[in-house]
Structure 1
Amino acid sequence: MGSLNPDPAFWAGRSVLLTGHTGFKGAWLSLWLERLGARVTGFGLPALTRPNLFDRIGFPPEASRIGDIRDPQALGAAFAMAQPSIVIHMAARALVRPSYLDPVGTFAVNTMGTAHVLEAVRAARDVRAVVVVTSDKAYENREWPYAYRETEAMGGHDPYSASKGCAELVTAAYRASFFGGERHPARIASARAGNVIGGGDWSQDRLVPDMVRAFEVGESVEIRAPHAIRPWQHVLEPLAGYLRLAECLAGADGAAFAEGWNFGPADEDCRPVSYLVERLSRGWGRTSGKPAEWHLSGGSHPHEATYLKVDASKARARLGWDRRLNLDTALDWTAAWYREAVSGADPRALTEAQIARYEALDAPGAKP
């Protein structure tokens, strides 16, 4: 397939409906799609944090539909407005611990929200490719040290993980029942990414944003599970995978790609939380003369998986996708983004610069 970058010739002028455009990953993806020349319509709730990257990048207000994925009428109106050729579904409840506080809402958004999107696709005959973004936590976690492949069972101990496993089952059922052949021209795939990091994430109860908030004011950051192992990767890595997958789905052999896909880092980048904390603390440096510090949280906490890795061999072999940034480099890019933003740099410019830098890695001999 040659270049690992998205193909501008494919995306230029193409109509894309992106759900969850107001979120962290959605903001990065909307800016990349704009750079590629796509006509992006966003659908999602208002951004949940202040500050947030969505507000900082200046998403065109006329192309943004604020609505709830649980509302089929609002979603249908967004489809009617966008007339999309490509749908990338990222709207979701995205955190484990809050799912214990509102399990019904989590299932309604992550599971039934996915069903609403696929129902809207059924009514939109111009759609050619749909990428449903779920999570690496969709797998039935057996706490083993091996990476999960796409053939592993779906599951989930907590409401968040189970809701993502259910979203995978919904996607598979819709694909088998309503799409393919003469039933509908759209090809449907799901994407399961590892834990993403990158500049512009201000979510609550997420490791890197929690660390940045503490470091900005010179406080020690509280860490719950320093030994938990996660498949860390820079946000641009899975986004590149989603775009490549959409291109393949929309191609002449699209049916061959209509299945589940993992986008995860190399095995050596599946590191414990403690590694990330120590490395980012050193990368951040000092605030008001104090070194960045962390401490272990006391008390009990809801269950979260200890070991979690995904095997992206299939994406490397069949999509030509691969990770470009090792974990140390991803952490360096992340720390640099936040340090510059805190110093007054324009978040949109910082994000565009890192996208351009990532694309430039396609050149022979390029280094991150």
Structure 2
Amino acid sequence: MGFRQRTMENLVITPAFWQDRRVLVTGHTGFKGGWLALWLQTMGARVIGLALPPATQPNLFELTGLAGQMVSILADIRDRDALAAALASHRPEVVFHLAAQALVLPSYSRPAETYATNVMGTVNLLDAIRQTGCVRSVVIVSSDKCYQPRATACTESDPLGATDPYSSSKACTELVAAAYRSSFFASGDHRGHATALATARAGNAIGGGDWSTGRLVPDAVRAFADRRPLLVRHPEAVRPWQHVLEPLAGYLILGERLYQQGARFAEAWNFGPGGETAHSVADLLTKMAGMWGGGATWRRDDETHPHEAQSLRLDATKAARALPWHPRWPLATALQMTVDWYRAHLDGQDMVAVSRQQIARYCECEPKAVAP
């Protein structure tokens, strides 16, 4: 039984839908964008990517051989002409927008750049889509940090808003998407090739292939590999950790539903493990250090750091009921897959094969319940 057939049986993603489908992924040289482009390419999609060059060495984009398997346009989403030219030339039917300044700490040192990229970059993309008229389905990837901080798990109807520039920029992105949906993209008959637009608010994604400085797992991998303790800013902080393939599965399902049924799915969606399964930074690192072995350890960094929300939880009940999308890997499995990936890279293994094997393993796994 082939990979695509197993995928069709075990997921509500339809590989036949993506076969030969023209799909634009912005941010394809990044962590989440790279995994999404690889997954789409595995299903036979005609993938077009638009992003800046990879920000790190090594990087997932090069390790998985994506450069030779897709159209890769190196451009900035702040460049309106480059975006318009890419859409006019390649005429994608589905767009996944992942290009962003995606880190909280750099947003404090470069707030104007963060807003220009995350807010105006989204404006530029949506305006190019509006003028081109070829796109049927758009998924704007947002963040769980777009919500006003609260003690309970956030639902899609909870207020937006935040205190740091990155989180604020994601709340602004949500407002931009809602305005374009209401003002320019028809919300009625999708059969008339109207553009259906949704936003996807995902929890903290972990997995192999992320080398961003300032993210917990890549920082931990570097420290553990160097046999030094990882210094941790906020070990008590709680986040909705999930393997990167979890939200990407949600994006793929959502993109397909938007294309096929339009307005019914053109709204905001949460993708997270559920509030009851959110874990603290300390809990995640203790589990990960145990899997890594070799004396891996961490300790609190007592220096003063910029503010970050102490607790973030997502209620993904709506996605579970309506798409339907369900998480598949508990935290222990997500961490083991992550550790295995980085260990394989350190051992010099073929990371194209390793990455494709992890996608196949995810597709074969049974879903688990979503607890709000």
TM-score band, normalised by shorter chain? over 0.9
Which position in structure 1 is the counterpart of 2:92? 84
CA distance in structure 2 between the aligned counterparts of 1:324 and 1:5, rounded to whole angstroms: 13
Q: Does 1:147 align with 2:156?
A: no
CA distance in structure 2 between the aligned counterparts of 1:3 and 1:127, rounded to whole angstroms: 28
Q: Which moved more, 1:119-128 or 1:200-209?
A: 119-128
Distance of aligned partners of 1:116 and 1:184 in 2 relative to their CA distance in 1, 3 Å threshold: farther
Kept in 2, the 8 Å contact 1:138–1:154? The answer is yes
Kindly state the Cα deviation for residue 132 of structure 1 after the two structures are TM-superposed: 0.2
Kept in 1, the 8 Å contact 2:153–2:274? The answer is no
CA distance in structure 2 between the aligned counterparts of 1:81 and 1:60, rounded to whole angstroms: 19
Kindly state the Cα deviation for residue 359 of structure 1 after the two structures are TM-superposed: 1.1
Distance of aligned partners of 1:116 and 1:166 in 2 relative to their CA distance in 1, 3 Å threshold: same
Distance of aligned partners of 1:149 and 1:2 in 2 relative to their CA distance in 1, 3 Å threshold: farther
Which secondary structure does the structure 2 equivalent of 1:190 belong to? strand
Kept in 1, the 8 Å contact 2:142–2:199? The answer is yes
CA distance in structure 1 between the aligned counterparts of 2:67 and 2:292, rounded to whole angstroms: 33
Which secondary structure does the structure 1 equivalent of 2:48 belong to? strand
CA distance in structure 1 between the aligned counterparts of 2:301 and 2:353, rounded to whole angstroms: 36
Kindly state the Cα deviation for residue 268 of structure 1 after the two structures are TM-superposed: 3.5
Which position in structure 1 is the counterpart of 2:165? 159
Kindly state the Cα deviation for residue 302 of structure 1 after the two structures are TM-superposed: 0.4
Q: Does 1:46 align with 2:53?
A: yes
CA distance in structure 2 between the aligned counterparts of 1:184 and 1:120, rounded to whole angstroms: 16
CA distance in structure 2 between the aligned counterparts of 1:5 and 1:355, rounded to whole angstroms: 15
Which secondary structure does the structure 2 equivalent of 1:29 belong to? helix
CA distance in structure 2 between the aligned counterparts of 1:89 and 1:360, rounded to whole angstroms: 27
Which secondary structure does the structure 1 equivalent of 2:167 belong to? helix
Q: How is 1:133-282 mapped onto 2 (pairs within 5 angstroms)?
A: 133-142=141-150, 144=151, 146-180=152-186, 181=188, 185-251=194-260, 253-282=261-290
Which secondary structure does the structure 2 equivalent of 1:112 belong to? helix
CA deviation string 1:178-201 (max 9, x = no partner): 011479611000000000000111
**TM-score relative to the length of structure 1:** 0.94
Which position in structure 2 is the counterpart of 1:126? 134
Kept in 1, the 8 Å contact 2:274–2:314? The answer is no
Kindly state the Cα deviation for residue 41 of structure 1 after the two structures are TM-superposed: 0.3
Q: Does 1:24 align with 2:31?
A: yes
Kindly state the Cα deviation for residue 348 of structure 1 after the two structures are TM-superposed: 1.7
Kept in 1, the 8 Å contact 2:10–2:365? The answer is no
CA distance in structure 1 between the aligned counterparts of 2:77 and 2:246, rounded to whole angstroms: 26
CA distance in structure 2 between the aligned counterparts of 1:56 and 1:3, rounded to whole angstroms: 28
- Give ranges in structure 2 of 5+ residues lacking alignment: 1-7, 368-372
CA distance in structure 1 between the aligned counterparts of 2:9 and 2:40, rounded to whole angstroms: 20
Kept in 2, the 8 Å contact 1:188–1:249? The answer is yes
Kindly state the Cα deviation for residue 293 of structure 1 after the two structures are TM-superposed: 1.1
Kept in 1, the 8 Å contact 2:237–2:281? The answer is yes
CA distance in structure 1 between the aligned counterparts of 2:62 and 2:302, rounded to whole angstroms: 35
Q: Does 1:329 align with 2:333?
A: yes
Kept in 1, the 8 Å contact 2:12–2:324? The answer is no
Kindly state the Cα deviation for residue 343 of structure 1 after the two structures are TM-superposed: 0.9
Which secondary structure does the structure 1 equivalent of 2:140 belong to? strand
Which secondary structure does the structure 2 equivalent of 1:157 belong to? coil
CA distance in structure 1 between the aligned counterparts of 2:274 and 2:142, rounded to whole angstroms: 20
CA deviation string 1:160-184 (max 9, x = no partner): 0000000000000000000114796
Kept in 1, the 8 Å contact 2:274–2:313? The answer is no
CA distance in structure 1 between the aligned counterparts of 2:143 and 2:158, rounded to whole angstroms: 13
AA partner of residue 174 (structure 1) = Y
- The two structures, once aligned, show a CA RMSD in angstroms of 1.5
Identity over the aligned pairs, expressed in percent?
Answer: 52
AA partner of residue 49 (structure 1) = T
CA distance in structure 2 between the aligned counterparts of 1:210 and 1:156, rounded to whole angstroms: 25
CA distance in structure 2 between the aligned counterparts of 1:13 and 1:224, rounded to whole angstroms: 45
- Give ranges in structure 1 of 5+ residues lacking alignment: 364-368
Kindly state the Cα deviation for residue 254 of structure 1 after the two structures are TM-superposed: 1.7
AA partner of residue 188 (structure 1) = L
Distance of aligned partners of 1:21 and 1:225 in 2 relative to their CA distance in 1, 3 Å threshold: same
How many matched pairs? 356
Q: Which moved more, 1:305-314 or 1:343-352?
A: 343-352
